[in-house]
Amino acid sequence: MKNYLPLLRYEPVTHKRIPDPSEEPELDYDEEAYWNSEIGKRHTEMLSLFKSYPDSPMDPAVVNYWKAIGLKKELFDNDRDDGMFSYSVFTPIDIKPDKKYALIYFSHGGGVFNNLAETYGFNTQAAAEKYIIVYPNNGGRSNNNVDEEFDRIIKEIKKKGYPIDPERIYCVGFSSGSDASAVAACTYPEQVAAVGILPGGQPFKDLKFYTGSDYYASTKGFRIPGIFVGGSVDIASYPAPWVLDHERKPHRAENLNLWMRDIAQLKNYTPLTLESIEEKLRNPADEFEKEFGLSFDKTFSFHVQGVDWIGGDYYGQDDVVVMRLIRAIGLPHVVWESQANIVWDYIKHFRRDQNTGESIYDTVACWGER
């Protein structure tokens, strides 16, 4: 069956998002303070390349920019259907044909195309960590063809001779692309080693996992480890305190239940209800329950790039972290380099056995190249 991805609508001239009447409004935050923060300034710097060449993804200046940091950029299928099915591929300049490289399939946010996603911070990391990264348009601004495009593009990349490691293919995406990452992984679990969801609740909010078990037939019972990263003032982070002030939607708790039980396959799984989440949010035992409305197997906090972060882990049957949730306190619906580092540090330890389909955790994984 075709996995469901919400269709986002945009005005044809301005390309601005047309809000769905059923969705919640954005959360308030100090926008000026954000753009003047350490992260906001870096975000502005990262966006400058796209803003200079929004309609020229292969301008020599763009290609040379990435070459200077150690990446070769290529673009395919850009002449097909106004570029809706194009995809760019970034490989380390010093790629070795006798080595195998991890691959990240990165899906863009809604309303934009892949050349903006290239500025999200993963490219800089790909050059340093030596992995291949692909940015697909997935059929347009809403990623609605990802369940077909993922398989097509991976097959084409293999046919073109890129030295990818088939055991280490990861789906990562931002906003609409986080939904797309979940869809691609659930449709082709035998190919996907782990997922990175940015922000950390979008698929639970909007993807219709709750339509029934048929949706999960394609996962074949395979475990899909995942890391879910977002900001505390991002309306797409779920569960979160904002749910107490908005319309109650029980399917979201069931989405999370299904992921924990059937996809991440938690060792100490305890069924969730909307009521149990709301009770923890109203009467939290600690700062983690106050932010997530969940009880974790392990919690942690840290400070990076001028921001405080908190998070929690859940373990699988083999006692490895199969689900990790992290929030940046005070951050809105944005993506930047800190998230790229956090995601890669998690997903790089997982691989998918190509003979058995087993999800395997590697404690010593350090590079994209091996």
Indicate the Cα dihedral angle 274, 271, 322, 203, nearest 10°.
Answer: -30
Mean pLDDT for 5-21 is: 67
pLDDT-based confidence at residue 174 (cuts at 50, 70, 90):
very high
User: How is 308-343 classified by DSSP, letter by letter?
Assistant: EEEEEEEEBTTSSEEEEEEEETT--S---HHHHHHH
285 three-state secondary structure = coil
User: How is 108-172 classified by DSSP, letter by letter?
Assistant: PPTTS-HHHHTTSSHHHHHHHHT-EEEEE-TTSTT-TTHHHHHHHHHHHHHHTT--EEEEEEEEE
Q: Give the pLDDT score at 31.
A: 86
Number of domain units in the chain: 1
In a domain, 370, yes or no: no
- 193 phi and psi angles, rounded to 5 deg: -85, -30
List Cα–Cα distances, 176 to 37, 139, 247, 287, 347, in angstroms.
25, 13, 21, 28, 20
Residue type, 276: S
pLDDT-based confidence at residue 14 (cuts at 50, 70, 90):
low
Residue listed under structure tokens 């480890």: 225
Cα atoms in the Cβ-side hemisphere of radius 13 Å centred on 69: 19
Q: Give the pLDDT score at 1.
A: 43
Q: Is the pLDDT of residue 17 over 70?
A: no
In a domain, 332, yes or no: yes
pLDDT tens by residue, 327-370? 999 999 988 888 999 999 999 999 999 999 999 999 988 889 99
Is the CB of residue 260 less than 8 Å from the CB of residue 272?
A: yes
Q: Give the pLDDT score at 220.
A: 85
In a domain, 239, yes or no: yes
- 355 phi and psi angles, rounded to 5 deg: -95, -40
pLDDT tens by residue, 34-43? 888 888 888 8
Q: Give the pLDDT score at 328.
A: 94
Mean pLDDT for 93-122 is: 93
Residue listed under structure tokens 């593009």: 153
Cα atoms in the Cβ-side hemisphere of radius 13 Å centred on 254: 12
In a domain, 3, yes or no: no
In a domain, 367, yes or no: no
pLDDT tens by residue, 197-248? 999 888 998 887 765 666 666 788 899 999 999 999 999 999 999 999 999 9
Q: Give the pLDDT score at 7.
A: 63
pLDDT-based confidence at residue 65 (cuts at 50, 70, 90):
very high
Domain hosting 174: range is 9-361
Retrieve residue 158's tokens: 């293999």
Alpha-carbon distance of 48 to 251, in angstroms, equals 39
CATH of the domain at 128: 3.40.50.1820
Mean pLDDT for 87-104 is: 96
Percent of the chain with pLDDT over 70: 93
Alpha-carbon distance of 123 to 71, in angstroms, equals 8
Q: Which residues contact 227 (CB under 8 A, 6 or more apart)?
A: 194, 195, 196, 197, 323, 324, 325, 326, 342, 343, 346, 347
Q: Give the pLDDT score at 229.
A: 97
Q: Is the pLDDT of residue 22 over 80?
A: no
In a domain, 242, yes or no: yes
In a domain, 369, yes or no: no
Nearest to 181 by CA among 124, 234, 119, 136: 136
Q: Give the pLDDT score at 337.
A: 85
List Cα–Cα distances, 32 to 13, 72, 254, 309, 362, in angstroms.
27, 35, 37, 21, 42
Q: Is the pLDDT of residue 4 over 80?
A: no
List Cα–Cα distances, 69 to 64, 90, 91, in angstroms.
9, 11, 11
Poorest-confidence range of 45-59, 84-98, 207-221, 286-300?
207-221
- The pTM of this model reads 0.94
In a domain, 1, yes or no: no
Mean pLDDT for 184-203 is: 94
Q: Give the pLDDT score at 39.
A: 86
Mean pLDDT for 176-183 is: 93
Mean pLDDT for 14-37 is: 78
Alpha-carbon distance of 75 to 369, in angstroms, equals 22
Mean pLDDT for 240-266 is: 93
Poorest-confidence range of 11-20, 40-49, 124-133, 347-356?
11-20
Segment (H or E) for 279: helix 274-282
Alpha-carbon distance of 304 to 369, in angstroms, equals 26
Nearest to 109 by CA among 177, 43, 170: 177
pLDDT tens by residue, 302-312? 999 889 999 99
**What is the residue-averaged pLDDT of the chain?**
91
